[in-house]
Structure 1
């Protein structure tokens, strides 16, 4: 990330990449917006370790794959957030989200170096989220459609 001045990086690219994953709940269109839709305790527990991300980008800046391919690779923070929405039982766009990420540059640049996990101030594990996304794509797509 380019430095604007001491301790002030330019996060424009980071936020552009973050927006590309559509970081918001995409519920079924016919749901009543005035009504709440609850999750089971089990479904809610699946989001633990994902929603706590504060988007500080420490993991992005510690990732060698992001240093070399920051213009194409989404990076650990963005992929952790993508997995947060993929894992949400109320979201109906899981397959579309997985198809968007099934790209040799967006997702598969992670080499599991784990710098991201080491530097996270919240103790989160972006590498595990990235591995889970890869697993979900492998389980949902025929091998010929996986873009390694």
Structure 2
């Protein structure tokens, strides 16, 4: 009886793992590479494409949105901080240095990015970087 229980457990785990790997297989190459770089060894819990936007959810982790060119437009850590290597690699240098000067690299929970600006949600404030001017503004939350 005990062996049967373990057998069912193992079969169930294999089914879950095969579903996860099939989601990895469905991801476009640039998105798969992005996730492998910034969320290595993660499990994908969902993936979809709608109107040229790609949506990926990491199990027990971030939700990510990519545009039709596979550039990230939104990363929500869902309560978890974003990886520092992501911040270093993907943020404009001036914005990264600003966050570093605040000693807030461990406090970035959401990042959004479009042609106009890059906005970060930190613990207690939002920081906005305007690409055209390089202006950085900070909005404190109450």
Per the normalisation by structure 2, the TM-score is 0.31
- Which protein is bigger by CA-based radius of gyration? 2
The structure where strand makes up a greater share of residues is: 2
Per the normalisation by structure 1, the TM-score is 0.30
The structure where helix makes up a greater share of residues is: 1
Structure with more contact order per residue of length (Cα contacts < 8 Å, sep ≥ 6): 1
